[in-house]
Amino acid sequence: QVQLVQSGAEVKKPGASVKVSCKASGYTFTSYGISWVRQAPGQGLEWMGWISAYNGNTNYAQKLQGRVTMTTDTSTSTAYMELRSLRSDDTAVYYCARDFLPFAVVVGNWFDPWGQGTLVTVSS
Amino acid sequence: EIVLTQSPGTLSLSPGERATLSCRASQSVSSSYLAWYQQKPGQAPRLLIYGASSRATGIPDRFSGSGSGTDFTLTISRLEPEDFAVYYCQQYGSSPTFGQGTKVEIK
């Protein structure tokens, strides 16, 4: 079955960077885009950006431009999200989620399935 | 950026009752690029509805979506115990955004 399995929880100090992985299985990795969504404690969902696993095209949320980088490793069917210059308000659960439809060249798809989430805590 | 406003913030209902959740967009959502997700505590969101009214695979038919343009609705015809959760709408245009969520709680 289609599955996204994310890396484990992280604790980082302010100013540090974090890199979260999302390993895909059960489908052709390069046919689908992956979005990253985060959820601060007790808050709603925030879309962070999207990457095409086909050609590496990216589309980042404006508020995170310059701090976030999304990449893929097609040899291991894994997507990565790196967030730099961490602040306390970056404390959140980070989810990866796959485009439902394949072969998208730009973001514009609903998300299914989702990874299980990775808690990133930023604290001094 | 399209802002999605969900109402009410909390809906207190009993099992068997009908739930009506609203999602209003700050500008027209193109091609009904509107989805609904259910999230339970400690779990990832789960896709319910896409294209404003199409049910995802395995979603019971008590869940239905409707609307177009700027006004969308998720209806749960008869609440089951497992339906008490938080529901989010999402527009998945060029810069996806989510509503702030509606919590459906047991009365």
Number of CB atoms found within 10 A of residue A118's CB: 21
Q: Residue B17 carries which DSSP code?
A: S
Of B45, B96, B98, the CB nearest to A114: B45
pLDDT 10s digits, A4-45: 999 999 999 999 999 999 999 999 999 999 999 999 999 999
Does A44 contact B99 at a Cβ distance shorter than 8 Å?
Answer: yes
Residues of B with CB under 8 A from a CB of A: 1, 33, 35, 37, 44-47, 50-51, 56, 88, 90, 92-101
In chain A, residues with a C-beta closer than 8 Å to the C-beta of B88 are 44-45
Interval B44-87: pLDDT, tens: 999 999 999 999 999 999 999 999 999 999 999 999 999 999 99
Q: Which residues contact A63 (CB under 8 A, 6 or more apart)?
A: none
Does B41 sit behind a cis peptide bond, omega within 30 degrees of 0 on the bond before it? Answer: no
The pLDDT score that the predictor gives to residue B107 is: 92
Tokens representing B3 are: 């802002």
